[in-house]
Structure 1
């Protein structure tokens, strides 16, 4: 979740070189400070000097950034002798919006939201990728063509979302019992500028499992009312599962705990919670490694069906905003089997590239292989995270609404009316499809 992309619609940047985004910011901030200005000139000389450079913005920070640099960026720099000026930010949508408005966008961006990218494509800020990437390497649901016939993004990595994690020593009967106890769900809503998105994942998955991909897709593309029985039912089911508006201590824990920290509760004595509805990337958390985390399809625990009706998925999507020889090489590299396989090897996600096959070969293959195979299985229906596919303004309001609803369950009708009004705003960009289809 992130802010609505800013800036007026302008022509896509051309091939002319322009000052780096960081140099522009530096000069603005330190114009009145001689010492810092001198340092900025030294940095600028490096960026604008003899070393070819490509700018890249993504949301990976800390350990994820370290892994990304080691597995992907450094091999690219060694192979092509091109410096990657990488910026990782937990508020990358806001950063990107400001850079686009200032006329200093990065060359390449990695975003989770196809809805946000579709808006940038409509504003002519993105460049088509067909001459750099073969969309068939990823499939139409991952590298989709927009209404203008062009492909503007592809996934660097993907994750499965319709799953529930539990400690390795918790049996099926215990899981079934825990699912009916709100305190046993590990819920953390905090995520900085994008707080609330874990709540949207719950509501999306409940709707998908209870009513199927057709209803889910109608809603994700703006054709099903927020006040419909199906959508309202998804919200109230989430309320009952996690105790929205109930125990103040439980609500406070969910609202104050960052999504990446709530997993620690599975390692306390006694355990603070047992089940976590979260995407496949969460298994990389130290707590779940320590607890020997295993996963279950979400449907039996959320809506009491025997099996998932479809699988919610998400991805980190690569797009091109400024075409230079260096940027084109980086795009081709990120779409290559080498880069896709290397990033997947860091266990930060999975590749859906058709030539990168999951295989046994590491000690975690007992839980990773089934995830990878489910994510790629052509016999299953996969639906992209609905909020990430929605227009950014709707996505952000949805995330904020889940926070308010968790604290005030009696606000539901007002929240749904507000989301309905916003979704009916003219000029929003909606994707026409978010699900692939199970073959007949």
Structure 2
């Protein structure tokens, strides 16, 4: 609101202007009523969208991404946000009422829907050079999804002021790792992230990709070594208080002990999005590549990545328009800037000065580095039944380290289930 004018009071406005002001106000109200009426009558095109953003994230997404789309294209977006979007989508598909567009984190889940004929091809709707191979993995020769935002996962966060010696010492003590396995219906995924990343760093992209596409057994030496390395690092089956803390703590609260005096833990293996948690903001969190702290790491510049992937279920004109918009540099840039995450669309990158903190700039550069190897989160790329069993197995192993052989045997039996859809590529290149 403008400040009131200073000096002598202005002369009163002539009375003849009042009807014009009233008329203008009436026209504004009429216009608003017409927009509401058009929507109520279903005359304005509508597209339905299901994603996992709720609360503040949903409000930000609506304001920075959806509102500009609605204004420009005169298409209403009926948005539904749910932290249990996989379950919601499954129920909607079963009922025959799926949304027009969905955003999911798992290409493995999307691949299963594509094989069922639920997804529509995006080949002609995406920018030609917008996204790398690990982000738009073809299925049967066609592209069915693309990333709206991306995150880097092969990271270990620590408080500012920690020197190299302190970092190395903390990494050898299970109690210094901030671990939270809780995540509602998807609890256990922080453990899968650990094991996937350890396998990638110890055995390289070739082995990682063979395992992610169902070819390398869970009982193989490489995969078993990744599990046991994680177990030693975080104290699986050890100190009951430590194990109980990890099992009971939601992943978003795992770093809270970092801010205590004395600190309850010092290191967190977690994706780039965790830096926006209050505890890491307070501790001025810094990161090192996980390869520097994983015992036996041999991979050269290999990174696990993840993303929120957009897919099309109804091939309508409004839905196609939304797909093109979400894949555009403008939409990707707007969401990445507000969400404090990243776009892997090279055209969507802001000016270097807009990235702010050094840690943010370096992570953005790593995601776009053509010389690095980027491998998509393996469990997210696996068939949903395998992904879910993997997450449950990490919880069981953390509590009972001696159950590992049985857990890996069960996962191998599940891997051999007929008619599962496995992606043939999860890395943009291998070593």
- Corresponding residue for 2:55? 62
Distance 1:438 1:93 in 2: 30
Distance 2:261 2:272 in 1: 25
Distance 1:310 1:358 in 2: 25
Distance 1:301 1:358 in 2: 32
Deviation at 1:134? 2.7
Runs of 4+ in 1 over 6 A off after TM superposition: none
Deviation at 1:145? 1.6
- Corresponding residue for 1:122? 115
SS at match of 1:355: helix
SS at match of 1:260: helix
Deviation at 1:357? 2.7
Distance 1:178 1:388 in 2: 30
Contact 2:333–2:350 (Cα < 8 Å) also in 1? no
Contact 1:135–1:151 (Cα < 8 Å) also in 2? no
Q: 1:122 to 1:363 in 2, by over 3 A?
A: closer
CA RMSD in angstroms comes to 1.8
Contact 1:300–1:307 (Cα < 8 Å) also in 2? no
1:58-137 mapped onto 2 (5 Å cutoff): 58-137=51-130
Question: 1:91-141: per-residue Cα shift (whole Å, max 9, x none)?
Answer: 110100000000000000001111111110000000001121135211222
SS at match of 1:322: coil
For structure 2, the 5+ residue unaligned runs are 1-35
Distance 1:308 1:268 in 2: 36
Distance 2:167 2:298 in 1: 14
Distance 1:128 1:368 in 2: 33
Of 93-102 and 282-291, deviating more is: 282-291
Distance 1:271 1:321 in 2: 48
Contact 2:203–2:298 (Cα < 8 Å) also in 1? no
Distance 2:414 2:299 in 1: 34
- Corresponding residue for 1:167? 159
- Corresponding residue for 2:15? none
Contact 2:57–2:339 (Cα < 8 Å) also in 1? no
Q: 1:430 to 1:44 in 2, by over 3 A?
A: farther
Question: 1:248-291: per-residue Cα shift (whole Å, max 9, x none)?
Answer: 11111100110011121211121111100000011111211111
Deviation at 1:63? 2.3
- Corresponding residue for 2:225? 233
Contact 2:170–2:176 (Cα < 8 Å) also in 1? yes
Distance 1:145 1:76 in 2: 28
SS at match of 2:144: coil
Question: 1:198-221: per-residue Cα shift (whole Å, max 9, x none)?
Answer: 000000000000000000001000
Distance 1:94 1:348 in 2: 27
- Corresponding residue for 1:38? none
Q: TM-score, normalised by structure 1?
A: 0.87
Q: TM-score, normalised by structure 2?
A: 0.89
Deviation at 1:179? 0.3
- Corresponding residue for 2:322? 330
Q: Which residue of 376, 390, 397 maps to 2:389?
A: 397
Distance 2:412 2:135 in 1: 27
Distance 1:44 1:220 in 2: 51
In the alignment, does 2:419 pair up with 1:427? yes
Q: Which residue of 347, 351, 370 maps to 1:355?
A: 347
- Corresponding residue for 1:415? 407
SS at match of 1:311: strand
Q: 1:114 to 1:363 in 2, by over 3 A?
A: closer
Q: Tell which structure's C-alpha radius of gyration is larger.
A: 2
Q: 1:307 to 1:223 in 2, by over 3 A?
A: closer
- Corresponding residue for 1:312? 304
Distance 1:358 1:304 in 2: 37
In the alignment, does 2:257 pair up with 1:274? no
For structure 1, the 5+ residue unaligned runs are 1-42
1:282-301 mapped onto 2 (5 Å cutoff): 282-301=274-293
Distance 2:423 2:355 in 1: 39
- Corresponding residue for 1:14? none
